A and B are shown apart, each in its own frame.
Chain A
Amino acid sequence: MAVVDKAGPRKDARSFSEIVNDERYRSVFYQVIVAIAVIWTANYLITNTAENLEARGMSAGFGFLGSTAGFSIAWSIIDYAPGDTYLDVYLVGIANTLIVSFFAIIATTFLGFIVGVMRLSKNFLVSKLASAFVEVMRNVPLLLHIIFWFTLSAALPSPRDKENQIALFDSVFLNNRGLYVPAPVPGEGFQFVVIMALVGIVAAYAVAVWATKRQFATGQKFPAFWTGVGLIVGLPLATFVALGAPLTFDYPSLQGFNFRGGADVPRAFCALLFALVLYHTVFMAEAVRAGILSVSHGQTEASYSLGLKPSWTLRLVVIPQAMRAVVPPMISNWMNVVKNSSLAIAIGYPDLVAVFMQTSLNQSGHAIEIVAMVMLFYMTVSLTISAALNYYNKIVQIKER
Chain B
Amino acid sequence: MTDATQSDTVFRPKPSLPPPANTVGAVGWLRKNLFGGPIDTIMTLLGLYIIYQIVAFAIDYGIVNAIWSADTYRECLDRNRGEGACWAGIAVWFNSMMYGRYPDEEQWRVNLGGIVLLLWLIPFWLPKITGKIQIGMSAVLTFPFLGAAMFIGGEFGLFLQVMASIALTLFVAVWLHVASTYLSGRSLPDLLVSITGFANKDDRLHKYVLLGAFGVGFVLSMIYLGSWELVEVPTTIWGGLFLTLVISGIGIASALPNGILLALGRRSKMPVIRVFCTAFIELFRSVPLITILFMAVTMMPLFLPVEFNPPKLAMVIVAVCIFAAAYMAETVRGGLQAVNKGQYEAAQAMGLNFWKMMALIVMPQALKLMIPNIVGSFMGLMKDTTLVSIIGLYDILLMGKAAGQNPSWLGFHTEPLLFTAMFFFVLCFAMSKYSQHLERTIGGGYGRR
Contact = CB atoms under 8 A, between A and B. Distances in A.
Given A123-B47, A140-B424, 4 more contacts: A139-B424, A140-B421, A152-B414, A361-B294
Nearest to A141: B383
Interface in B199-222: none
B379 to A, nearest CB: 8
B287 A38 contact: no
Interface of B: 33-34, 36, 40, 43-44, 47-48, 50-51, 269-273, 276, 282-283, 285-288, 290-291, 294-295, 298-299, 301-306, 379, 383-384, 386-387, 389-390, 397, 401, 413-414, 417-418, 420-421, 424-425, 428-429, 432
B32 to A, nearest CB: 8
Most buried by A among B270, B285, B299, B302: B302
A136 B425 contact: yes
Contacts of B428: 138-140
B306 A124 contact: no
17 contacts: A31-B273, A48-B304, A52-B301, A122-B40, A123-B44, A129-B50, A129-B51, A138-B428, A140-B383, A141-B397, A143-B387, A143-B397, A343-B288, A343-B390, A371-B291, A371-B295, A379-B287
A34 B271 CA distance: 11
In the complex, the 3 A-B pairs of residues with the closest C-beta atoms, listed nearest first:
A382-B286, A141-B383, A124-B33
A148 B419 CA distance: 11
B36 A353 contact: no
A339 B43 CA distance: 36
A237 interface: no
A226 interface: no
Contact of B286 (A55, A371, A383): A383
Nearest to A58: B302
Contacts of A368: 299, 302
B288 A148 contact: no
Which secondary structure characterizes the binding site on chain B? helix
A374 B286 CA distance: 11
A48 B302 contact: yes
Contact of A122 (B36, B47, B50, B302): B36
Interface string A116-155: 0000011111100100000110111111100110011000
B429 A353 contact: no
A151 B418 CA distance: 11
Given A34-B272, A129-B50, A367-B298, A375 B283 contact: yes
A149 to B, nearest CB: 10
Given A342-B288, A378-B287, A129 B276 contact: no
A197 B34 CA distance: 45
Interface string A4-48: 000000000000000000000001001100110010000001001
A125 B418 CA distance: 26
B33 A122 contact: yes
Contacts of B290: 342-343, 345, 353
A342 B291 contact: yes
B287 to A, nearest CB: 4
Nearest to B29: A124
A138 B269 CA distance: 38
Interface in A143-176: 143-144, 147-148, 151-152
B291 A357 contact: yes
Which secondary structure characterizes the binding site on chain A? helix
A340 interface: yes
Nearest to B404: A151
Contacts of A353: 288, 290-291, 294
A368 to B, nearest CB: 6
Contacts of B418: 148
B60 to A, nearest CB: 16
A387 to B, nearest CB: 12
A357 B291 CA distance: 8
Contact of A345 (B272, B390, B413, B421): B390
Contacts of B36: 122-123
A45 B290 CA distance: 22
Given A30-B273, A353-B291, A374-B291, A49 B303 contact: yes
Contacts of A144: 386, 397, 417, 420-421, 424
Contacts of B51: 125, 129
Nearest to B298: A367
Nearest to B40: A123
A7 to B, nearest CB: 32
Contact of B386 (A121, A122, A143, A340): A143
A141 B283 CA distance: 23
Contact of A45 (B270, B303, B424): B303
Most buried by B among A53, A140, A152: A140
A167 B303 CA distance: 53
Interface string A71-110: 0000000000000000000000000000000000000000
A109 to B, nearest CB: 20
Given A49-B302, A143-B387, A143-B389, A123 B34 contact: yes
Contact of B429 (A139, A141, A374): A139
A49 B308 CA distance: 13
Contacts of A140: 383, 421, 424-425, 428
A367 B302 CA distance: 9
B40 A375 contact: no
Nearest to A144: B421
A371 B298 CA distance: 9
Contact of A141 (B271, B286, B303, B424): B424
B387 A148 contact: no
Given A125-B43, A151-B417, A378-B287, A367 B33 contact: no
Contacts of B383: 140-142
A51 interface: yes
A233 interface: no
A138 B34 CA distance: 27
Nearest to A336: B288
A371 B417 contact: no
A52 to B, nearest CB: 5
A35 B272 contact: yes
B386 A141 contact: yes
Contacts of B270: 27, 30-31
A49 B303 CA distance: 5
Contact of B387 (A129, A152, A343, A357): A343
A383 B281 CA distance: 13
